[in-house]
Structures are given as C-alpha cells and as structure tokens.
Amino acid sequence: MILEQLKMDDIERNQNILKKEHFSYKIDKLYRDYQELYFKSIFKNHSFEFKNGNKILVPITFDSIKKNFSFFGDPIEFFCTHKMEKFSYEKLKKKIDEFKDIKLFKLEIDNEKILLNKKFNFVEKVINEIYIDLSLSEEKIKENFSSNHRNEISKSYPNTSFELIDYKNYKPGMIYEMMKLHKFVAGRQTRSKDSWKQNENMILKNKGFLTRVKYNEKIISYSFFYHNQFTCIYLSSVGIREYYKVVRNIHHKSLWLAINYARSYCKYFYIGPITLFSKTPISEKEITIERFKKKFKGINKKFVIINKLPDYEVFNELIKRNNV
C-alpha cells in the first residue's frame, strides 16, 4: 500500500473522485482563500493518499491559529474509488492517529436510527443536508417546497424589488454595501474587509453572485452565493429585521431567485443542514434557521460528525455504501 503526500493541485485534479454535492466546491481555490481570510488563519496542506488498487484520498489542512487539523475549518473526510476493506481502513486509521488535535470527522451514513440507538460516545452530531436537483424544471422544484413556501415566493409586496447581481452587472465596490449593512445589523464588524474583497473576486470570476432587496428604494437585505460547476451554496446573508414584518418573503424570494439563476451553472443547490442529533444543544437562532430550511424538499444526504474514527466493524456497518 503506497502512501503519497498530496499537493492541493493534486486534489483538484481528482475531481472525478471528489465530485460530490457537499465537497467539490471546498477544493476550489477561491473558496479556500476565502476560508483563510474568514478564519484569519493560514491553512497548511497535509493531504495524502493511499494507492493499492483502491485510491484513498484524505484532504487535510492544519490551522496555524487554532493549532488543529481539519479541512479549511470543516470536518475531515476521505474518499475512495472502491469499497473500503478492513486492511485499508486500519492503515488509514493508523496514519490518521499520527495527526494530533484532529477535532472532527464527517462520514455519510445510510440509517441514522441504527447509529443513534447504539448511543456511541464518539458521535457529536447527526445532520441531514438538503440539496435541490437543478436539472428539474421550475415547476418540479416548486412542487418539492412546502405549501407555505410556495405561497411566499408567489407574493409581491408594494414598493419592493428583488435584484440579482452577477459579474455582468456588478459594479466595483458593491460588495462593501453588503458589508456596511452587515455591520449595521450586527452592531460591529464581524469579519475582515479582505474576506469581503474575496467575495468580490468570486463575483468577478463568475463564481459568485448577490441578491439584493429594496423597499422604497432602500436596501434592506443582501445574500451572497458561491458556486462551482457542480454545486451552489448559500454563503451569507443579512437583512434589517424591522422590515421582516413588512416584506415577509425577503429570504424566501431571494433564495428562489438564486436557485433559478444557479440552474444555468450547477447541478445542485445546497440549502443547508438540519440537525437530527447534537451532543451539545443548538441555539434558538440555529433552530429558527433550520425551521426555514425544512420548507425546502429535495435530495437528502445524511452525515455523522464524529470525534474519532471507530473500529472497522462499526465503520462498515454505518457508512453509506456509495460513500466509498
């Protein structure tokens, strides 16, 4: 079994293995650079792969500030060309054990009920990620929304406009309007100006776009979306809360605008995760956001977030068959 270190360019070349809804965009350089700016950190690449007929890729980075291993702040995942055999898994586990201070791993699973019933102490969280299949027609996509959500996106409120801004109509510096609105709503600057500049770079390189909502010509909301050729993600948003009762479909319609736009570029649109189990309580804000996400129906992918790799027998029982 041959072990080789991987450069980030090597990972990018393995798109055929990493072409997954939940991961492919994370290896794009624009996104990686954004993560470094967002976390105010430098992530040093420690990725590796095993070759023995079953190619096993393990993208790993080291956070120079937090002094731990992840993949640009996200849980570590690994990807294989074939089913993971016990010998390969044990070699992988032994190699992983050399990395100190790894916080979390992420594995796709088939059945969360089996996992939760066994009450494994290594389980931190179980999530259901929601994706929309963008190859479907507008009507088919709408059919999968809750009736309440379909009703909200069909409404129009007086003196209200929804705009989409991409590389074609973007004006330099426009992203800082969103930054200023975010600072006004949050009451402070929550992330660096450089990270906002990177959002602008994403737009100019046709990898990002904005939705903007105006009421009586006043900007009351912005949302930013990032995409590669495979998946579009909802990266950030901000809105003035006092207008939520005036324009009740701000986020509903902004997201619908983004979904329709993304159909020209991507295969999937990532709505976000729903918590099925969490070892630590989630906040009221997270509960409210997840309640909104549940209005969308689409492709469901379930994952377990764990704090260590289990023995092979447990791993083999729990992982989703097409995950490896």
Which pLDDT does position 119 carry in this prediction?
87
Inside any domain, residue 63: yes
**Pick from 133, 129, 108: which is nearest to 269 by CA?**
133
Asked whether the beta carbons of 221 and 212 are under 8 A apart, the reply is yes
* Same-domain pairing of 140 and 262: yes
User: Is 171 strand, coil or helix?
Assistant: coil
* Same-domain pairing of 151 and 255: yes
Inside any domain, residue 300: no
**Pick from 245, 298, 253: which is nearest to 154 by CA?**
253
For residue 172, CA distances in Å to 15, 138, 167, 193 come to 32, 32, 10, 14
For the chain, list residues with pLDDT below 70.
16, 320-324
* Same-domain pairing of 235 and 189: yes
Which pLDDT does position 320 carry in this prediction?
64
DSSP state, 174?
T
Inside any domain, residue 291: no
Q: How many whole angstroms separate alpha carbon 123 and alpha carbon 146? A: 31
* Strands across the sheet containing 218-227: 105-108, 299-306, 123-133, 268-278, 231-239, 218-227, 208-215, 160-165
* Same-domain pairing of 97 and 207: no
Span 301-318, pLDDT tens digits: 999 999 999 999 989 887
Backbone angles phi, psi at 147, to 5 degrees: -60, -35
Domain finish residue from 88, 103, 118:
103
Count Cα neighbours of 115 within 13 Å in the Cβ-side half-sphere.
29
For residue 28, CA distances in Å to 23, 31, 228, 301 come to 10, 5, 8, 22
Tally of structural domains, the chain: 2
* Same-domain pairing of 89 and 211: no
Residue that is written with structure tokens 């079994």 in the block: 1
Question: What domain range includes position 209?
Answer: 136-266
Whole-prediction pTM? 0.92
Q: How many whole angstroms separate alpha carbon 37 and alpha carbon 175? A: 16
Inside any domain, residue 220: yes
Written as six digits, the tokens of 116 are 């939760």
Under 8 Å CB-to-CB from 151, ≥6 apart: which residues? none
* Strands across the sheet containing 79-80: 2-5, 48-51, 56-58, 79-80
